[in-house]
């Protein structure tokens, strides 16, 4: 069984740098204050997996992870 990869953002850790949004706006939503959350249910389409990992790697607060459900 193939599990869906999901982008998970810890909103308590996010400080609104928006590096993640700059890298993969298809998977990130930003509120009026600049804080990020996963778009939709966070599912990462295969064609965006590499960009999602770049968003994880570029978060200075380590607020983003990828989980396989």
Task: List, for residues 52-64, the tens digit of each pLDDT value.
Answer: 999 999 999 999 9
CA quadruple 25, 59, 39, 68: dihedral sign:
positive
Q: Which domains does the chain have, with CATH numbers?
A: 5-68 (3.30.70.20)
d(CA 54, CA 48): 10
Task: Give this prediction's pTM.
Answer: 0.90
Interval 29-58: pLDDT, tens: 999 999 999 999 999 999 999 999 999 999
SS3 14: coil
Q: How confident is the model at residue 18 (pLDDT cuts 50, 70, 90)?
A: very high
- In this prediction, residue 2 carries a pLDDT of 64
- Cβ atoms of 4 and 65 within 8 Å: the answer is no
- Rg of the chain on CA atoms, in Å: 11
């Amino acid at each position: 069984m193939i599990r869906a990869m999901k982008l998970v953002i810890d909103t308590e850790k996010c400080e609104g740098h928006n590096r993640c949004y700059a890298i993969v706006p298809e998977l990130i939503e930003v509120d009026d204050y600049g804080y990020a959350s996963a778009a939709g249910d966070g599912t990462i389409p295969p064609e965006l997996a590499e960009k999602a990992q770049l968003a994880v790697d570029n978060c200075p607060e380590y607020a983003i992870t990828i989980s396989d459900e």
